Amino acid sequence: MTSQQPPLWRRAVAELLGTSLLVMIVVDSGIAAQQLSPIDVGLQLLQNSTATVLGLTVLIWCSVLSAAPTSTPWFPSSTGSWAGAAVPD
């Protein structure tokens, strides 16, 4: 099975978008944690890590669903493959 790679500019834009979203998630979770509990550092760490995990989960799920719109782990393709994006149909 042969697959064509997208053009370089498209891959560069996708990389830039993904990196900027990742930076925004990490930085904004730290800012939000400092504003929610300015005194308790332990609570800040808990809030920061929770917000980062949730943000990264959403970011990863969006990339998985956009990479394999016809075959995901919960919605198999017509061939019955449950492997999702990891194994081509």
- Is residue 20 within 8 Å of residue 10, measured between CB atoms? no
Give 1-54 pLDDT, tens digit per residue.
Answer: 567 888 888 888 888 988 899 999 999 999 999 999 999 999 999 999 999 999
pTM equals: 0.64
- Is residue 43 within 8 Å of residue 37, measured between CB atoms? yes
First-to-last alpha carbon distance for the chain, in angstroms, is 10
Here the tokens at position 33 are: 């944690």
DSSP state of 84: G
Here the tokens at position 81 are: 């493959």
Residues 6+ apart with CB under 8 A from 16: none
Domain boundaries, the chain: 8-86
